[in-house]
């Protein structure tokens, strides 16, 4: 008994502060959030009674909230699609030995070092919705190139406008996906490729049966990371458009609810966001833990 304590008592003691702090500030606050979402704390008045899932039903009955979910859906599809396509393309081109590879790599990755607020400044300018003579930003480029039909009002449109917000997000994170894919490509043993070539595999078959299967864990990681970032998108929207209806997503709607002291509503939106992220992340964490165990 004493020996057991001596063996794992000290390590537990070292790690205990972190466990306690995260227990309170992650799990405790998530619990507190859920309990606020089940209450009628819709104003500064602290008098609180339990109302069950009423806030959730009310939220899903709101056209505004459904619209924010649709916006999030459009953004997510374009953001994931764009980062995966460009990330893969760049990694694929750089993998095959390119002069000054480091320069290309560094440039493709650098937007990752900049805050969404700072990049929001320049992208608000680029995605200016004015057209024709008053056009600036990207619309001005189309105007000058004679591609007038490409001019559009970008995010300033409730339907597909969110696809425009995905542009700066892709600009910032495609390089990250590139880095992930590049490390995936570099992890494929050269012998595997050689063996496939010896067997007379065409270039396409080499990719289909050797390279793509080897890259799939990396692709999954990229998909999960970009996907969960997409669900949390907030800074970029606030910086480019502030919180307006056209670009509202659950995270910005939460900000509106919280600043008007509707704690129950902001907590309800938060719980829904958490569930979305958990659906993506929890299976991934379990899968990773298992994969690690298998490796020993």
Partner 1 sequence: MSVSTGLEKKPGSTETSRTSGMPQQSSIRVRAGLSRTAKYVLLVLFLIIVLMPVYVLIVTSLKPPQDVNPATSWGLPVRWPWEPAFEGGPTGFDNWALAWNALSASIGRTFLLAIPAALIASFLGAMNGFVLARWRFPYADVVFTFILFGMFIPYQAIMTPLVQMKTSLGLPSDVSTLLVVHVIYGLPICTLIFRNYYAGIPHELMEAARMDGSGMLRTFRSIVLPLSLPGFVVTIIWQFTSAWNDFLFALFLSNQNEGPVSLALNNLAQGAQLANYGAAMAGALLASLPTLVVYIVLGKYFIGGLMSGSVKS
Q: Report the site for partner 1 in 169-208 (rule: CB under 8 A).
A: 171, 175-176, 179-180, 182-183, 186-187, 190, 193
Rg over CA atoms, the chain:
24
- Interface with partner 1, residue 212, by CB under 8 A: no
Among 49-57, 63-71, 110-118, 153-161, which window interacts with partner 1 (CB under 8 A)?
A: 110-118
User: CB-wise, 207 or 284, nearer to partner 1?
Assistant: 284
Residue 109 engages partner 1 in binding (rule: CB under 8 A): yes
The torsion of the CA quartet 179, 181, 183, 189, rounded to 10 degrees, works out to: -160
Provide the minimum distance between the beta carbon of 8 and partner 1 in the complex, in angstroms, as a whole number: 3
Given a contact cutoff of 8 angstroms between Cβ atoms, the answer to whether 247 and 259 are in contact is no
DSSP structure class, residue 50: B
Q: Report the nearest approach of partner 1 to the CB of residue 275 (Å).
A: 9
Using an 8 Å Cβ cutoff, are 189 and 140 in contact?
Answer: no
By CB under 8 A, name the one of 104, 158, 210, 256 that touches partner 1: 104
Return the bridge partners of 45, or none: none
Q: Which of 43, 144, 202, 260 binds partner 1 (CB under 8 A)?
A: 144
Give CA–CA dist 253/260, Å, rounded.
11
Member of 2, 7, 47, 204 binding partner 1 (CB under 8 A): 7
- For residues 232-271, which are near partner 1 according to CB under 8 A? 232, 234-235, 238-239, 242, 250-251, 254-255, 258, 263, 266-267, 269-271
Nearest to 152 by CA among 166, 132, 170, 169: 132
Q: Taken in order 161, 165, 166, 170, is the CA torsion positive or negative?
A: positive
Q: Which is nearer to partner 1, 31 or 159 (CB)?
A: 31
């Amino acid at each position: 008994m004493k020996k057991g304590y001596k063996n794992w008592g000290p390590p537990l003691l070292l790690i205990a502060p972190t466990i306690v702090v995260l227990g309170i500030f992650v799990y405790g606050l998530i619990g507190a959030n859920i309990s606020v979402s089940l209450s009628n704390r819709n104003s500064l008045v602290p008098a609180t009674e339990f109302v069950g899932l009423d806030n959730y039903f009310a939220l899903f009955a709101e056209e505004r909230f459904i619209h924010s979910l649709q916006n999030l859906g459009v953004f997510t599809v374009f953001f994931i699609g764009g980062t995966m396509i460009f990330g893969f393309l760049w990694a694929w081109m750089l993998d095959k030995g390119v002069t000054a590879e480091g320069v290309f790599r560094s440039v493709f990755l650098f937007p990752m070092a900049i805050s969404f607020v700072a990049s929001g400044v320049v992208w608000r300018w680029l995605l200016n919705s004015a057209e024709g003579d008053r056009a600036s930003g990207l619309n001005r480029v189309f105007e000058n190139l004679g591609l007038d039909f490409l001019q559009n009002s970008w995010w300033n449109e409730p339907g597909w406008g969110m696809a425009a917000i995905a542009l700066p997000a892709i600009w910032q994170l495609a390089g990250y996906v590139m880095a992930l894919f590049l490390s995936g490509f570099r992890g494929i043993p050269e012998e595997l490729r050689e063996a496939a070539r010896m067997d007379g595999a065409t270039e396409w078959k080499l990719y289909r049966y050797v390279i793509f299967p080897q890259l799939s864990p990396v692709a999954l990681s990229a998909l999960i990371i970009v996907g969960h970032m997409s669900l949390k998108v907030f800074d970029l929207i606030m910086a480019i458009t502030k919180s307006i209806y056209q670009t509202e997503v659950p995270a910005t709607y939460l900000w509106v609810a919280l600043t008007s002291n509707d704690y129950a509503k902001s907590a309800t939106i938060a719980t829904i966001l958490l569930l979305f992220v958990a659906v993506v992340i929890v299976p991934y964490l379990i899968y990773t833990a298992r994969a690690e165990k298998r490796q020993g």
